[in-house]
Amino acid sequence: MRSVSRFVVALVWAAVVLAPSLVFAQASITGTVRDTSGGVLPGVTVEAASPVLIEKVRTVVTDGNGRYQIVDLRPGAYTVTFSLPGFNTVLRDGVTLAGSAAVSVDADMRVGALEETITVTGEAPVVDTQTLTQQAVMNADTIDALPSARNYFGLARMIPSTVGGGNDVGGSAIQDVGQSVRVHGSRNTDQRITINGVNTMTLQAGGNIGGQTPDVGSAAEITVDTTSLGADLPTGGVRVNFIPKDGGNTFANSTFVTFANDAMQGDNFDQELQDRGLGTPNQLLHTFDLNESFGGPIKRDKLWFWFSTRYNNVASQAPVFRNLNEFNPNEWLYVPDTNTPGENLGSQTNNSIRVTWQATPRNKIAGTFKADTWCNCPNNISAVLAPEAARDRRFPNLKQEHLEWTSPVTNRLLLEAVGMQLYERWGNMHLRASTGSVTPEQEAILPQMISVLEQSNNLRYRSLQNYNNTSVPSLTYRAAASYVTGTHAFKFGMNNTTGHLWENQYVLNGVNYRFNNGVPNQLEMRQNFIAETNLDRDMGFYAQDRVTLDRLTISLAARLDFFKTSFPEQTLGPDPLGPSRNITFPAQDNIDWKDFTYRSGLAWDVFGTGRTAVKVGFNKYLLGQTLNGLGRDPNPVLAMVTNATRPWNDANRNFVPDCDLLNFDPNGECGVISNRNLGNPAPAATFDPDLISGWNNRQTNWELSTSVAHEVARGIGVDVGYFRRAWANFRVTDNLAVTAADFTQYSMTAPSDPRLPGGGGYTVSGLYDVIPSKFGQIQNYNTLSSKIGDQTETWNGMDFAVNARLQNGLTLQGGYSFGRVSENDCEIVAQLPEMLTLTAGNASGTANGVAQLRSANFCDRQEPWLSQFKMYGVYTVPTVDVQVSGTFRSTNGTDLAPGFVATNAYLAANSTLGRPLAGGRPNQVTGLVAPYTEYTERRNELDIRFGKVVRFGRSRSVISLDVFNALNSNALIAMNQAFATYTRPTEILNARLLKVSYTLDF
């Protein structure tokens, strides 16, 4: 009850006290009313009516310039009526609204009787001449028609300029969480998945991913914003917004069901892949997806509802075999069972209900309750993770409570308040018999299965090295006021999020091993801990105005953000690797950022015809931040050293480290520990106050966008744009226990190998190793890169897009995009060579999750021009009522970073180091190829749907056959980065897949 009370109080406070606020941008109708002589007409009553409005109609009056604007309109079909005593009434029919577009509807009124009505039918404009935001809109009909996995990232990655979003052929993997889509050089954490403008993602990962993904079946429309985003949120990445269905005065239903199994999948596992070392391909075993939603009136024009439920179950074969030695604590090598591939399993349920109440003619209240569960159990099995080392990725308790209030107080003033309470209980947990991942006997023996990482192929087996169990409650609210005249659209606003993160990071065995070709050479010591972090506020205040001056629209906005986190009192008790540990950390503050950002731009209707627009935007955004990164890293529990490595020479091959692990000096078979602060309450890292507090110190970026949009023919528009993004306020780590003089710089000859550029044998210089006397001495200090030297990162690129909605029913959208990233941190690594090394605790490069030593000569990096082409289309053949649709994506391959295991023997013969590696380390994984130079092959994916439409009364059914990866491409998704197995495929596109699906709407 207490949490519900806090939720209601926060919503009321936001609505009453903070009413001056910015609403999330929905569609609007705007225009100018004139008489037949061309003179403007003030005082004209303009009404927008639609069945999607529970209040039926929205009314405004034209200003002294004859202009009007009707804002915050839901997607759907509208009729616009213009009336003024002494003039004929003008009715404009067939006005279709989608997304946040500003649709221009002008009227010319003739002198005459008011009761005489002139009806005009028009088409939806192709070019938006007022709105700067680059937006793609998909309504429920389009989503149902396209062959897709029906999730946010599957839809967002159809946009030509977006990258990322995972790899999922026909819904062959449950990936609704953990997937991020980027655009024009943005970060993963800049992504936002919202419902009516309120972020639904977890606080733990940057606010960009989470377990509570909106249900497509409950959405009337989904918009994907990519450029010139509004000031209602601080970030500038991809924003996917779900507009929920409210119901209506007529009962309606939408059913979607699809199924496929392994008998419906082709074979793309050719001889070349087998020769390159891929033992077994990844492929679908079965998938079933049922999405049922329905709604209607509880009381006509007064109370509506919409209910939606979804069940999704997927099983897929992983590209790795089970281990014949799995769950045998006495066997230490991975021996593939070539008859039994691993399997990833997943199931997901979503249930939501939304009720909309027109309490009074000027007050609408809507509430949504959503409860989800899902379990990928087991999960994450891949070519570099054996099945027994998998995890149960469980979300056993996910809840969402959403309450909204909207009030058009007058023809010009609109108020709105929204609150959302989320609860997310999840974890990457150990395999459990209760989920079916293992037997009870296997679960009981799992703590004895010490995890092993094999360096020669980066394979982890026996068990996973660590697990987590997490709880993340949060409360988000915003309030809104818009004051709209014919010329101005003023908006003022605030939003805030508070929450708490409780995380249990645990291990089943405190020691993990590393082998090279089956021979132990290193062990890792890892302690358990529980940490708690508070999000005290993620608050923003903003104001904006959109001014229309004849053919020119100017948009200006300013935003103030206040972000604060803290840590409660925390206690750590004894641990197997810290038996005397008993530490209490007092409560303390953490981040306290204050930032100013802005949005600016103009849109020019070049010829005044509404067919050609030039747009320019210049915007400043903040990096997406919640209880991740700097939001939690300074936590005294996390700032402790809880894991460290040490060399291990298993001389007697008993696979037991014959030494005293609690003695950090070399003893027995164990070398010196990599960090002597393991388990010490003294922080392993400290943080510059300028990094975590003050004005304008949060990581930020500037975006420049320019574009020209033109309607080249009736219903066909093209858009060409140039975009640039530049980042600032980078975080670096300075080990104060060492200086640049405490490192030995050396070069190494890369092995001769045809898989390397030019056949290898070249010199890799700019490598560093700390001197032996300084090994293990770590006093990391996190600060702003600008205090060390210059660091830059920019992205430049162009988009070419086409949007066609023809009268014959053909919809075609897509385009071509290219761009590249340029990075330079040369001044940083010259001062802080520890940023390049593993021994100083801050590795820079990774390959398959294994850290590499990076050459300082790779400090100036630039991608080649990377391009993408994407297109989707929908068409119904009228003579036979057959629906044909498809999507095509041609995207870049993955950047490669081979990691060579350079042993002391190799370095002695092929480097200028002149001594063994510091700390008695047996080898150093070293990057051989500069970033952005080697890529996997390009991926071309074609998905097609053929559907027969069957109509009966009010109902419309479509029976469809989907063909995913119709070209049967076996393009590489990933390759092994361990040098011994470099270029060995670890994942390919799933083979051609047939799916049957059925939709029923009435």
Do the bridges between strand 612-622 and strand 588-605 make them parallel or antiparallel, or are there none, so unpaired? antiparallel
* pLDDT for 17: 35
Distance CA 307, CA 498 (A): 28
Residue from 426, 473, 590, 403 nearest 203 by CA: 473
213 has pLDDT over 70: yes
In order of 872, 875, 883, the CA distances from 880 in angstroms are 22, 12, 9
Q: What is the pLDDT of residues 457-501, one digit of tens each?
A: 999 999 999 999 999 999 999 998 999 888 888 999 999 999 999
CA distances from 431 to 205, 321, 387, 503 (A): 23, 18, 10, 18
Q: Does residue 180 carry a pLDDT above 90? A: no
Q: Which of 403, 402, 305, 401 is nearest to 354 (CA)?
A: 305
Q: Where are the alpha helices (DSSP H) in 386-479?
A: 440-445
pLDDT digits (tens, 9 = 90+) for 699-753: 999 999 999 999 999 889 999 999 999 999 999 999 999 999 999 999 999 999 9
The CA distance from 26 to 543, in Å, is: 17
Q: Is 273 helix (H, G, I), strand (E, B) or coil?
A: helix
CA 995/CA 264 separation, integer angstroms: 7
3-state class (DSSP) for residue 616: strand
Bridge partner residues of 477 (DSSP): 419, 496
Please name the residues in contact with 829: beta carbons below 8 A apart, sequence gap of 6 or more: 835, 836, 856, 859
User: 663 to each of 623, 644, 658, 668, how far by Cα in Å?
Assistant: 42, 13, 12, 10
Nearest residue to 892 via CA among 157, 163, 183, 281: 163
C-alpha separations of 395 from 212, 402, 471 in Å: 9, 20, 10
Tally Cβ neighbours within 10 Å of residue 515. Answer: 21
Residues in CB range of 458: below 8 A, 6 or more apart = 384, 847, 848, 849, 850, 976, 977, 978, 981
pLDDT band at 809 (very low <50, low <70, confident <90, very high): confident
Looking at residue 238, its amino acid is V
> Residues 60-87: pLDDT tens digits?
999 888 899 998 888 888 999 999 887 8
Beta strands 336-360 and 363-379: pairing type? antiparallel
Residue 885 CA to residue 897 CA, distance in Å, equals 38
Around Cβ 644, how many Cβ atoms within 10 Å?
23
User: pLDDT tens digits for 615-641?
Assistant: 999 999 999 999 989 999 999 999 999
DSSP class of residue 10 equals H
Query: Two tokens at 204?
Result: 């733990």
For the chain, how big is the Rg over CA atoms in Å? Answer: 30
- Residue 876 forms beta bridges with which residues? 883
Label residue 136 by pLDDT band (50, 70, 90): confident
Question: pLDDT for 549-571, tens place per residue?
Answer: 989 999 999 999 999 999 999 99
pLDDT-based confidence at 27, cuts 50/70/90?
confident
Strands of 51-179 (E only): list them: 57-61, 67-73, 76-83, 89-97, 102-104, 107-109, 117-121, 134-139, 162-164
Tens of pLDDT, residues 36-58: 888 888 889 999 999 999 888 99
Q: What is the overall mean pLDDT for the chain? A: 90
Angle, CA 192 vertex, CA 939 and CA 152 arms, to 5°: 50
Mean pLDDT, range 784-794, rounded to an integer: 97
Q: Which domains does the chain have, with CATH numbers?
A: 26-121 (2.60.40.1120), 252-577+592-677+684-1001 (2.40.170.20)
The reported pLDDT for the residue numbered 5 is 43
- State how far the Cα of 43 lies from the Cα of 62, in Å rounded to an integer: 5
Least confident segment among 541-545, 660-664, 707-711, 973-977: 973-977
Q: How far is CA 5 from the centre of its chain?
A: 31
pLDDT of residue 13: 38
Residues of 616-638 as b/e, b for ≥16 C-beta within 10 angstroms?
ebbbbbbbbbbbbbbbbbbbbbb
Indicate if the pLDDT at residue 910 is higher than 90: yes
Count of beta carbons in the 10 Å neighbourhood of residue 779: 16
Q: Are 252 and 981 in contact (CB under 8 A)?
A: no
The answer to whether the beta carbons of residues 364 and 55 sit under 8 Å apart is yes
The CA distances from residue 15 to 6, 140, 409, 619, in Å, are 14, 31, 13, 28
Please list, in sequence order, all residues whose beta carbon lies within 8 angstroms of the beta carbon of residue 741, skipping any fewer than 6 positions away: none
Comparing CA positions, the residue from 551, 623, 558 lying closest to residue 596 is 558
Rounded Cα distance between 366 and 278, Å, is 53
Q: What sign for the dihedral angle of Cα 780, 785, 788, 794? A: positive
pLDDT of residue 20: 33
In tens, the pLDDT along 143-171 reads 888 898 788 888 888 899 999 877 788 87
Which residues lie closer than 8 Å to 1 by C-beta, 6 or more apart?
A: none
Instruction: Compute the distance between CA of residue 401 and CA of residue 371 in angstroms, rounded to an integer.
Output: 9
pLDDT for the residue numbered 117 = 67
pLDDT of residue 956: 92
For residue 150, the one-letter residue type is: R
Q: What mean pLDDT do residues 228-254 have?
A: 91
Our CA angle for 760, 765, 768, nearest 5°, is: 130
Confidence of residue 760 (pLDDT cuts 50, 70, 90): very high
pTM of the model: 0.89
**Length of the chain in terms of residues written:** 1002
Neighbours of 447 (CB within 10 A): 13
CA-CA distance, 546 to 550, in Å (whole number)? 13
Distance from C-alpha of 664 to C-alpha of 988, rounded to nearest angstrom:
44
The residues, any chain, with a CB within 8 Å of residue 102's CB and separated by 6 or more, are 27, 28, 29, 30, 128, 129, 130, 131
Give Cβ neighbours of residue 163 (< 8 Å, ≥ 6 apart).
157, 181, 182, 183, 868, 891, 892
pLDDT digits (tens, 9 = 90+) for 508-523: 989 999 999 999 999 9
Of 198, 263, 835, give the one whose Cα is nearest residue 476.
198
Determine the Cα–Cα distance for residues 347 and 350; give it in Å rounded to an integer: 11
d(CA 253, CA 270): 45
Spatial separation of the C-alpha atoms in residues 914 and 485, rounded to whole Å = 76
